[in-house]
Amino acid sequence: MENMSPRRPTPPPPKPPDFSPEKTCRALQKQLAALDKLRGRKYHEVENEEEEWRNLTLNILNHGFGEGSENVSQFHHAKWAGEHYMGGMSPGLIQQNFEKRIESFAAMLRSALAELELMMPEPELAGSYEPGDEYQFYRDLKTIVGFATSDLFIIDNYLDTQIFDVYMENVAPPVAVRVLTSQVSVSLRAVAEKYSKRGNLELRSSKDAHDRVVFSNDRCWVIGQSIKDAARKKPTYIVEHSGAATMKSIYEGIWPSATVIVKS
């Protein structure tokens, strides 16, 4: 009689992603901000925090990209950053590995966020606004601000507190925010100081800028009216500029000589 060995059960297939790109992006932006809080600390002080961070981040990656995805593989690769030896390691080497691990995790998350940005559908912007279209203008500008995953640079000479209260309330802490204006009211400065507690904010003043421009990552939009009054009584527009790098170089030239008002 033929010897029949028991057949090994077939492992279940990897679970596909079940988070939307938008949800995954928001979650990973929060994890990138949480990771930044581990920098500069001793590994033995944050062991529990790091383990909680790793567990949650892995769960998000599994839900956002699917089990067995390249992003999950990159996470596990980052987890072993540094030098590892059998038979124990010195506290100094363990600390070095911790620091390299944090940087590897950060690079992995930035790569995942860039991929998600490509996956998300491009929202339709109205582009032109009649008097009274304030809400549509608000929706579109907030969408543009929301594109930022690394840096946001806003130039407008007549800003008020709504730039922080309304448009940038959900900007993730890892995003470096710069604001250049000429009119800095007491209330604008006060709200900017409160907003700066998130980190990565700088508000400067200069008389040399005369346009209304928003740079979100490597893209650029030009606005017809000052943001605080846009589409209230006059028509206006938001137009994406094809020469983002050239436009940005203009304002990067103004930025160093502008007066620092608030800085995180």
State the Cα angle at 91 between 88 and 96, rounded to 5°.
105
Side chain identity, residue 66: G
pTM of the predicted model, to two decimals? 0.64
259 by DSSP, 3-state: which?
Answer: strand
In the chain, pLDDT over 70 holds for what percent of residues?
A: 96
- Identify which of 24, 215, 197 has the alpha carbon closest to the alpha carbon of residue 109: 24
DSSP 172: -
pLDDT band at 6 (very low <50, low <70, confident <90, very high): low
Better-scored residue on pLDDT, 36 or 179: 179
Say whether pLDDT at 75 is over 70. Answer: yes
Instruction: For residue 159, give the 3-state DSSP assignment.
Output: coil
> 128-263: what CATH class?
alpha beta
Digit-coded pLDDT (tens) for 252-263 = 999 999 999 999
Dump pLDDT digits (tens) for 206-242: 999 888 999 998 899 999 999 999 999 999 999 999 9
Q: What is the pLDDT of residues 151-210, one digit of tens each?
A: 999 999 999 999 999 999 878 888 899 999 998 999 999 999 999 998 889 999 999 988
How many CB atoms neighbour CB 75 within 10 A? 22
> What angle, 0 to 180 degrees and rounded to 10, lies between the N-to-C axes of helices 47-65 and 91-119?
30
Give the other-Cβ count within 10 Å of 28's Cβ: 25
Query: pLDDT at position 136, please?
Result: 92
What lies within 8 Å, CB to CB, of 17 at 6+ separation is 24, 63, 64, 65, 66, 69
pLDDT value of residue 5: 61
Residue 198 token pair: 């998130």
Q: At 261, is the secondary structure helix, strand, or coil?
A: strand
Q: Which tokens sit at 128?
A: 């032109």
Confidence of residue 3 (pLDDT cuts 50, 70, 90): low
**Domain boundaries along the sequence of the chain:** 21-119, 128-263
Q: Which two tokens stand for residue 48?
A: 């529990």
The larger pLDDT score, comparing residue 131 to residue 6, is at 131
Please name the residue that has the structure tokens 């710069």. Answer: 178
